[in-house]
Amino acid sequence: MVAPDPAGPGVSAVIVNFNARPHLVECVRSLRADGVDQIVVVDNASSDGSEAALAESDPDSRFLPTGSNLGFGTAANVGVANTASAYVLVLNPDTILQPGTTKALTAALDRDPRMAVVGPRVDNPDGSLYPSARRFPRMTDAAGHAFLGMVWRDNPFTTRYRMLDWDHTQAGPVDWVSGACMLVRRSAFEQLGGFDPAYFMYVEDVDLCWRMGQAGWTVGYEPAGRVVHAVGASSQLAPYRMILAHHRSLLRFANRTTIGPRRVVLPAVAAALGVRTCLAWAHHRFDRRPPATH
């Protein structure tokens, strides 16, 4: 592994890339425009010329090839380990920062020394809100969202889980924020060992925020920061594999967070997730809209 710079800037950015060349170039451009000096791109064995494109468009960025597809969390850990700043912006390559986002997120962590993670408002390319700030769902909400969310996106279970009944123009504490773009406090991130590498894709952001809360840290949402996210740019390259990975991650998180007598329901949860995996595969086969993740 390449050693981190001995003295990095106040904020570094880590992008996990997998065959997202055009998005990557635009993401890096938006980071530069927003004043981020140190950018590390961890590449999960892309074959689309991402390295050459980045070298041409932004030769000062560091490109770290992993040699294989490590998944999001493990690759992000590699990137964070190759920076030296107090705060690290972890993000997907298919995100575009709007002006002032880095400053707004940094200010949120500066104001609250117990806040370990803060996420910006995330918009879809059409300007609509992507609900990036969420609650940890209760069992009933999780079940309702899982089975109704694919066909009835405004059902009450999904509404509660995605906090669609909450004013997303206001900053405040939340249970978790999307790993599509989050600013993390290095000391807290390293205290917890970063993202759990057991998650290949999906839910690693939920898990990180849950463990932060267990350790006494808080998670915040700051809509003064804003990004545009083309949801699923990389995951759509292998949709069926990603659906399976998503449901495996959900089961892992349920197993980690379900305690006491409630663990008796875990076999039923596993069976239900198996059924939902098949339904999600079928849904993707006949519905070409981007999937509603988490």
The answer on pLDDT for 27 being more than 90 is yes
Centroid of chain to Cα 242: 14
Residue 196's pLDDT is what?
95
Residue 149's pLDDT is what?
67
Query: CA 19, CA 116: separation in Å to the nearest integer?
Result: 30
If you average pLDDT over residues 22-48, what whole number do you get?
Answer: 97
The answer to whether 2 and 79 have CB atoms below 8 angstroms apart is no
Percent of the chain scoring above 90 in pLDDT: 62
Produce one character per residue of 133-152: b if its CB has 16 or more CB atoms within 10 Å, e if not.
bbebbeeebbbbbbbebbee
If you average pLDDT over residues 263-288, what whole number do you get?
Answer: 66
| Residue 27: closest CA among 204, 222, 291, 229 | 229
- Whole-Å CA distances, 287 to 87, 160, 276, 281, 284: 39, 25, 15, 10, 5
Produce one character per residue of 109-120: b if its CB has 16 or more CB atoms within 10 Å, e if not.
beeeeebbbbbb
If you average pLDDT over residues 194-210, what whole number do you get?
Answer: 92
The answer to whether 41 and 61 have CB atoms below 8 angstroms apart is yes
pLDDT in tens, 217-244: 999 999 999 999 987 555 555 576 666 6
Residue 249's pLDDT is what?
64
The answer to whether 78 and 64 have CB atoms below 8 angstroms apart is yes
Residue 162 carries which DSSP code? T
- Whole-Å CA distances, 169 to 23, 105, 129, 133, 222: 27, 15, 10, 12, 9
52 compared with 166, residue with greater pLDDT: 52
Q: What is the pTM of this model?
A: 0.82
